[in-house]
Amino acid sequence: MILSQKLHRAAAIFMLSSMLLVYSDASLKAQTAPSSESAVIQHLVVSEGVPLHVILTGKVRFKRGEPVHGRLVEPVFAFDREVLPEGTQVVGHITEFSSASRLVRFTSMASGNFTPVREPQLTFDSLILKDGTTIPILTRVTPGANNVVRFSAGASEEKKSKIATATEMARQQIDAKKRAVIDAIKGPGKMDRVKEEMWSFAPWHPQYLPSASRFNAKLTAPIDFGDISIPTSELADLGTQPAADSIVAARLIPTLDSRTASHGNEVQALLTRPLFSADHHLIFPEGSRLSGTVVQAQAARHWHRGGKLAFMFTRMELPEALARQLDAPKAQHLEGRLDGVEVDNKTGAVQLDEEGGAAADSSKKRFIMPAITTMLAMNGSEGAEPVRVHHIPTGATRNNFGPRIISGGIGFGLIGSAMSRFLGPVGPFLGFYGAGRSIYSNIIGPGQEVTFPADTAIEIRLSGSSATPK
């Protein structure tokens, strides 16, 4: 009896131990299952040389040490994610001033403007995030572009594919965010621009940077955002062929100019936004390289014929270290043509054609100013005008002061107007001088060159290729 009880007790203990072992093994497998998928540790860093696109939130006096406040117009990406959203505050100051060349100073004085011609040199030294976090930065600042030009096929364009339509919608959303930042800043600056135009006629006027001025703050030291863990399943499409009609945002590495470029010159650019597949798997991260060549270059010529420039990208490649780490295809052969570009309206307008070529836009509006200045100069050349009473000449005359003063102002600003009031022949001379200058610059002289400075923001439309990646 006692032996039987001991056997039953041993069997129960054995069964209970077995159940505990099975449960423990199942729990261990359940706990380790999620971690069985491998992951890649990626360091998030905004590299040295990346430009920050900044718009000023208020006008800035020309004074050394004057504080400068702005906001980011474009978000900044690191690898596959946004690390600095648009609207991030940027703070800096004026460090010094650079003087213009003698030719520029002489041209300014020849127009009656004796204000010192100088450009403020800025630096931005900190970023302020929405949560109040301050990130110190080191930058080198250059003037930025204020307009995006894109190719548009017009109303007769064939119906877009689903991919192209989705791409267009995404681009419109990006533009809407950018406009929201700009519109919040540009409103208060309208009156400043009117005052600036009025002051331009004075021989001396106060100098300041107007609100909504654009600048590129190029990083001279990287910004570190730490490490992240990315499951390898999300990188399965890395380095594969992008879909046709994909739009990639990039920045040019070299400066391209229609006057100095030649057919066959190498062109390179770096992606500023990551490129994803239709199911949102990363294909090419920020910092991937585009390579291509110049296919057309023509310098500007007289009679206001503008320059022409076209280039095409034929290769997109991953950063070498990343391709080696994940054993992904390093590069893809493709065809990429210019679909959009940021330009500065002060240096002339640009038009894009279907093949991605850029040409200086020579608007017919350029004939308006020569016509007006010539008419005003001719009116100012008339001496005395007859005095009429009820449209009947009285035989008396009076000096033609009004048109003469305006004519002098055309050629030499307020000083020319004052001289024309007291020195009769000066007004017509200055009037025709100003008209001649306008005729040469708008009709006879060379047109605008097509110039894309280094770090110019561009949009490239891709089409696939059957070539084997290397």
3-state helix, strand, coil in the chain (%, to 5): 35, 35, 35
- CA distance linking residue 434 with residue 411, whole number of Å: 4
Supply φ then ψ for residue 408, to 5 degrees. Answer: -65, -35
Q: Where are the beta strands (DSSP E) in 196-323?
A: 208-209, 214-219, 223-231, 247-252, 256-257, 266-271, 275-276, 282-284, 289-298, 308-317
- Tell me the domains of the chain and their CATH numbers: 39-152+162-230 (2.40.128.260), 231-362+447-470 (2.40.128.260), 366-387+395-444 (no CATH)
Q: Of 193, 217, 10, which Cα lies nearest the Cα of 95? A: 217
Collapsed DSSP state (helix, strand, coil) of residue 36: helix
What is the residue whose two structure tokens read 């102002």? Answer: 409
Structure tokens at 24: 């423990």
Cβ neighbours of 50 (radius 10 Å): 22
What lies within 8 Å, CB to CB, of 21 at 6+ separation is: none
pTM score, two decimals?
A: 0.72
What is the residue whose two structure tokens read 């500065």? Answer: 344
What is the residue whose two structure tokens read 């002060």? Answer: 346
Structure tokens at 325: 């780490």
Q: Per residue of the chain (470 residues), what is the pLDDT tens digit?
A: 454 555 456 555 555 455 544 444 544 444 443 444 688 888 999 999 999 999 999 889 999 999 999 999 999 999 999 999 999 999 999 999 988 777 777 766 666 677 777 889 999 999 999 999 999 999 999 988 878 888 765 433 444 454 455 555 555 555 655 555 555 555 545 566 666 666 666 677 778 888 888 999 999 999 999 999 988 888 888 888 898 888 999 999 989 999 999 999 999 999 999 999 888 889 999 999 999 999 999 999 888 888 999 999 999 999 888 877 777 777 889 999 999 999 887 666 888 888 889 998 777 777 887 787 777 777 666 655 555 656 666 554 555 656 666 666 666 665 666 666 666 666 676 777 777 878 888 888 888 899 999 999 999 998 865 444 44
Residues 438-469 have pLDDT tens digits of 888 888 888 889 999 999 999 999 886 544 44
- CA distance linking residue 243 with residue 164, whole number of Å: 10
Amino acid at 86: E
Alpha helix segments (H runs only) across 136-266:
162-186, 190-199
- CA distance linking residue 315 with residue 266, whole number of Å: 12
